[in-house]
Amino acid sequence: MQANSNYLESIGQRARAAARKLARLSTAVKNQALLNIARALEESQGEILLANRRDYQAGQHAGLTEALLDRLMLNRERLAAMAADVRNVASLPDPVGEQFDVHTLPNGLILGKRRVPLGVIGTIYESRPNVTVDIASLCLKSGNAVILRGGSESIHSNTALSRLVREAAAAAGVPEDAVQFIEDTDRALVGQMLSMREYIDLLIPRGGAELIRRVAQEASMPVVTGGIGVCHTYVDRTADLQKAVDIAYNAKVQRPTVCNALDTILVHMQIAPQYLPLIVQAWGQAGVEIHADSRAMSILGPMESPRIIPATQEDWGKEFLSLTAAVKVVDSLDEALEHIERYGSGHTEAILTEDYSAAMRFLDEVDAAVVMVNASSRFTDGAQFGLGAEVAISTNKMHARGPMGLRELTSYKWTVLGSGQVRT
Amino acid sequence: MQANSNYLESIGQRARAAARKLARLSTAVKNQALLNIARALEESQGEILLANRRDYQAGQHAGLTEALLDRLMLNRERLAAMAADVRNVASLPDPVGEQFDVHTLPNGLILGKRRVPLGVIGTIYESRPNVTVDIASLCLKSGNAVILRGGSESIHSNTALSRLVREAAAAAGVPEDAVQFIEDTDRALVGQMLSMREYIDLLIPRGGAELIRRVAQEASMPVVTGGIGVCHTYVDRTADLQKAVDIAYNAKVQRPTVCNALDTILVHMQIAPQYLPLIVQAWGQAGVEIHADSRAMSILGPMESPRIIPATQEDWGKEFLSLTAAVKVVDSLDEALEHIERYGSGHTEAILTEDYSAAMRFLDEVDAAVVMVNASSRFTDGAQFGLGAEVAISTNKMHARGPMGLRELTSYKWTVLGSGQVRT
C-alpha cells in the first residue's frame, strides 16, 4: 500500500510538472503530436492487436459476457477508426489562448479573458480501450495533462496504447508525462486516486452507474457527473402523429445501449388512442419490449406480436440501456412535467408537440442538460452538437452542462492591460 | 443533534421547493422584491439598529477586537449603503433566461443555450451583517434560493435582517423560503451543512482563511474557493519609475485589509537601486512596515523613518491584510515567475514594465485568476470589472474564476428546436 501510494504520488507530481509545460505548447506542436499518434496507431497495429488478444482471451477465460467482450475487442477497423478520431481532434480549433469578452473600461484598462487549460484531468474508465486514446487526445489538444486509470480487463491493450501515445507525442515535443496510464491494477489505487485533489483538477468517470456514483461520492476533487440518462419523450395532445412515431422510434431503436436513448414515453391521454398502437407496432417490429402502465395497457388491449408487460414502479426513472421502453399515459402537460421532475436524471428531455405554448413551457420548466422540441433525444452528443468530439455528457450544473468538448476542458484567466492606473 | 439535523433537513427541502419557483419568476417580480428590501432597510432602521446593538454589546463583553467590533457595527449610514447596494442589484440585467450561442445545425435543428439559476446557494460567513443582505439580493436576482449561516457574534443583526428580507421579498410574490437564515448558532450545524450536497448546489464561504480552508476540505458540494489573495507585483527592469511607485503605493495602501492588496513586491536587480528608495519612502510615509530580503536591505541601507526588518521565510506567500509588505530583489523575470508560481495563491499577479515581451510572457505564464500589466492589483473586484456586484472572487479553475457576479451564479441548459429530426 505504501509503495502504491508513493507510486500514485509520483504520477501526480509528474502530471503537474507536465501540465505546466503543456499549457504553453503551441497549437502546431500539439497537432503534430496528434498526427504522430494517429500514424502510430496505423503502423503498430500488430503489436496492439497482440496485447488486445491477451485481454480478450483472459476475458473469455473469466467468462465475460459477449457484450463486454465486444467492447473490449480491437481489430484493424477499430484501430483505423481510432486513428481517424485522433486526426479529427487535430483538426479542431485549439481553445487555449483564445482571448474573449475583451472591452475597455472607462478608466482605460483593457479587460478580457483568456482561455487556459484546467491543469490535470483524471479519468477512470471501464473496458473499452479506445477511451485511452480518445481522452488522451482531447486532453492533449486542450493543454491538459491526464492520468488514466482503465479497467483490469483491458490492462494489456491500455498499456500498449498509452505507451504508443506517450512515445508518439514525445516525438513532437510534448512532455511524456502529459499522458500517464496507471499500469498497476490494484483496486486500492482507485480510492487513492479519488483523494488526490492536490494533483487532479477534474475527474471524469466513464463507465457504468456504479462507478459514476462511487466517484461522485468519494472524489475529493470536482467530478463530471454524467453518463446516466433517464430520458423521457413526452407526446403532447397536439403532436404530429407521424413525426412522433419517427422520433420515438429513432430515440429508442437507433442505438439503445447509450445514455441518450429513450427510456420512458409519456403520452397525453387525448392522443394515446391514436398514437400508442402506432408506436407500439413500430417498436414491436424492432423487438422493443414494452412496459406499459394500466391506462396504456387498456388502450392497447391484448396484442400478439410485441412483448408488452405491465409496468411496475421500478420502471419509472430506470435507464434501460436496451430495447426496452416504459410507457405511461398522462392527463396533461403538467403531469408530464411532474413525472420528468421526479424521475428524470437531468440528461435529455423532449416534447413532441405542435402547440407553441406547450413547447415554450416545456423548454422553460424542464430542468435538464438538454431540452428538445420535436427531435430525437439521440442528438445529445458532442459530435452532433458540432463540438467535434466529447469527453463526457455532464449532468452537473457547475462548470459545464451537457456535451463537453475541448472548450469545456478549459478555464480562463482575466487579463488586465493597464497604463499606470491606480484605484481611487 | 437529531433535532438539529431535522432542522437543517427541513431548511434544505424548503430551499429546493423555493428554488423551483424562483427559477421561473419574472425579472419584474424579482426587481420589485429587491426594491421592497431596500425600502424596508430604510424604514426599519430602528429595529435593526436595536438588534445590532445587542450584538455589539455582547461583542464588547466578549472582548472582540476593535476591528471586529467595527465590522459588526451598523449605523444609519451603513444601512443606507446597504439599501443602495440592493437597488444597484435591482438595476443590473437579469442573467436568467438569456439565450446565447444560438445557431442552426446543417440538419435544421436550432441549437442554443439558455441561462438558468444554479439552484440553492449556501453561504457561511463571519461578523459583517451586510453580507446577509448582499448575498440574499444577488441570489434572489439570479433566481437562486439561499441558505445563510452567519457568525454567532452577529446573530441578532442577521436574524433581524433576514426576516426583513423574507417579508419584503414575499410582499412582491417571492417565496419566503427563497432566503433562509439559520437562526440556531450550534456549531455542529456547520459540519451538517457541509454534508448537504443533496440540498445545496454551491457553497460560498466568506470569511477568514481558516473558514475557507475548512469549507474547501469538508464540503461535499462544489465550493467557491477564494478570498485568499497572496498578491505579487513584479517591478521589471524597464518599469516606468513613477508609475511603479504610484501603482505599488496604491496596491498596498489604498485598502490594506482586503484580498487584492499587494503582499510582496519583487524588484528586478537592475532597477532596484533607483526604485526601492522611492517606494520605501512613499510606503514609509503611509506607515507601511517593510520586510526586506538581504539584497533589498543592502540597497536601502540603514534608514531611519520607515520600519524595515529582515524578511524571513514565512513572509513569502503570506497574506498580510495589513500595512505590511515583503520586498525581494530578483535577478530576472524568470526568477519572478518562479517565485509567483511557488508562493502565489492564484488570485492577482501584476507586472510593471515597459518591455512588451516581458509583459506578454507574464500574461502568458502566470497562472492566476487575474494577471495585470501596469495596473494596481486593487482593481480585481466585481464592481471595478463592471459586473455590478460580486458574490466572491474565485481562485478555482472550475466554473468561474476571479470576480463572480450574477452570471457566475447561473448554469445553462441546451435548447434544441426541431421539426421532426431523427438521427441517422
Q: pLDDT of A59-74, one tens digit each?
A: 999 999 998 899 899 9
Range of the domain at B11: 2-224+401-416
Q: Are A413 and A113 in contact (CB under 8 A)?
A: yes
What CATH number should be reported for the domain holding residue A325?
Answer: 3.40.309.10
Nearest-by-Cβ selection for A420 from B103, B374, B403? B374
As a whole number of Å, the CA-based R_g of chain B is 24
Nearest-by-Cβ selection for A373 from B114, B375, B417? B417
The pLDDT tens digits for A137-170 are 999 999 999 999 999 999 999 999 999 999 999 9
Strands A99-104, A110-117: pairing is antiparallel
Residues B116, B210, single domain; the answer is yes
Task: Say if A170 falls within a structural domain.
Answer: yes
Q: Residue A384 and residue B423: Cβ atoms within 8 Å?
A: yes
pLDDT at A305 > cutoff 70: no
Task: Say if B392 falls within a structural domain.
Answer: no
CA distances from A315 to A209, A290, A311, A312, A357 (A): 16, 10, 6, 6, 30
Residues B352, B409, single domain; the answer is no
Residues A295, A412, single domain; the answer is no
Q: Residue B422 and residue A246: Cβ atoms within 8 Å?
A: yes
Q: Residue A376 and residue B422: Cβ atoms within 8 Å?
A: yes
Provide the pLDDT for residue A227: 78
Residues B125, B197, single domain; the answer is yes
Nearest-by-Cβ selection for B423 from A23, A254, A417? A254
**pLDDT, averaged across chain A:** 95
How far is the C-alpha of B361 from the C-alpha of B333, rounded, in Å?
Answer: 9
Q: Are B233 and B374 in contact (CB under 8 A)?
A: no
The C-alpha cell that represents B116 in the structure block: 438558468
Task: Say if B424 falls within a structural domain.
Answer: no
What CATH number should be reported for the domain holding residue A24?
Answer: 3.40.605.10
Cβ-based burial of B289 (10 A; exposed 0-12, middle 13-18, buried ≥19): middle
Task: Say if B389 falls within a structural domain.
Answer: no
The pLDDT tens digits for A187-210 are 899 999 999 999 999 999 988 888
Q: Residue A414 and residue B374: Cβ atoms within 8 Å?
A: no
How far is the C-alpha of A340 from the C-alpha of A347, rounded, in Å?
Answer: 11
Residues A245, A155, single domain; the answer is no
Which residues of chain B make contact with A411, given a CB cutoff of 8 A? 397-398, 401
The C-alpha cell that represents A338 in the structure block: 411532474
Provide the pLDDT for residue B67: 85
The pLDDT tens digits for A317-364 are 999 999 999 999 999 999 999 999 999 999 999 999 999 999 999 999
Residues B334, B405, single domain; the answer is no
Which residues of chain B make contact with A370, given a CB cutoff of 8 A? 413-416
pLDDT in tens, chain B (424 residues): 445 679 999 999 999 999 999 999 999 999 999 999 999 999 999 999 999 999 999 999 999 999 889 989 999 999 999 999 999 999 999 999 999 999 999 999 999 999 999 999 999 998 789 999 999 999 999 999 999 999 999 999 999 999 999 999 999 999 999 999 999 999 899 999 999 999 999 999 988 888 888 998 899 999 998 878 999 999 999 999 999 999 999 999 999 999 999 999 999 999 999 999 999 999 999 999 999 999 999 999 876 667 899 999 999 999 999 999 999 999 999 999 999 999 999 999 999 999 999 999 999 999 999 999 999 999 999 999 999 888 999 999 999 999 999 999 999 999 999 999 999 9
Q: Residue A374 and residue B420: Cβ atoms within 8 Å?
A: yes
Task: Say if B396 falls within a structural domain.
Answer: no
**CA–CA min distance A159, chain B (Å):** 30
Alpha helices in A44-129 (DSSP H): 45-61, 66-72, 76-91
**CA–CA min distance B110, chain A (Å):** 10
Provide the pLDDT for residue B193: 96
The C-alpha cell that represents B300 in the structure block: 536601502
How far is the C-alpha of A86 from the C-alpha of A83, rounded, in Å?
Answer: 5
Q: Are A376 and B423 in contact (CB under 8 A)?
A: yes
Provide the pLDDT for residue B305: 64
Cα-Cα end-to-end distance for chain A: 57
How far is the C-alpha of A22 from the C-alpha of A201, rounded, in Å?
Answer: 15
Residues B6, B115, single domain; the answer is yes
pLDDT at A373 > cutoff 50: yes
Amino acid identity, position B270: Q
Paired with A115 in beta bridges are: A412
Over residues A280-306, mean pLDDT = 90
Q: Residue B422 and residue A371: Cβ atoms within 8 Å?
A: no
Residues A257, A140, single domain; the answer is no
Task: Say if A423 falls within a structural domain.
Answer: no
**CA–CA min distance A45, chain B (Å):** 30
Over residues A13-41, mean pLDDT = 97
Nearest-by-Cβ selection for A371 from B359, B376, B415? B415
* Residue corresponding to grid cell 414491436: A284
Residues B315, B202, single domain; the answer is no
Residue of B nearest to A354 (CA): B419
Q: Are B104 and B403 in contact (CB under 8 A)?
A: no
Task: Say if B171 falls within a structural domain.
Answer: yes
Question: pLDDT-derived band of residue A1, with 50, 70 and 90 as boundaries?
Answer: very low
Nearest-by-Cβ selection for A416 from B373, B386, B412? B373
Which residues of chain A make contact with B386, given a CB cutoff of 8 A? 103, 105, 111
Residues B355, B270, single domain; the answer is yes
CA distances from A321 to A345, B216, B367 (A): 14, 37, 42
The C-alpha cell that represents B52 in the structure block: 445590532
Residues A111, A201, single domain; the answer is yes
* Residue corresponding to grid cell 465486444: A70
Q: Residue A398 and residue B201: Cβ atoms within 8 Å?
A: yes
Instruction: Report which of B258, B224, B212 is spatially closest to residue B383, judged by C-alpha positions.
Output: B258
**Number of structural domains in chain A:** 2
Residues B259, B280, single domain; the answer is yes
Residue A354: how many CB atoms within 10 A of its CB? Answer: 14
Q: Residue B413 and residue A370: Cβ atoms within 8 Å?
A: yes
pLDDT at A3 > cutoff 60: no
Greatest Cα pair distance, chain B, in angstroms, is 82
Cβ-based burial of B80 (10 A; exposed 0-12, middle 13-18, buried ≥19): middle
Task: Say if A391 falls within a structural domain.
Answer: no
Which residues of chain B make contact with A420, given a CB cutoff of 8 A? 240, 243, 246-247, 374-375
Residue of A nearest to B419 (CA): A374
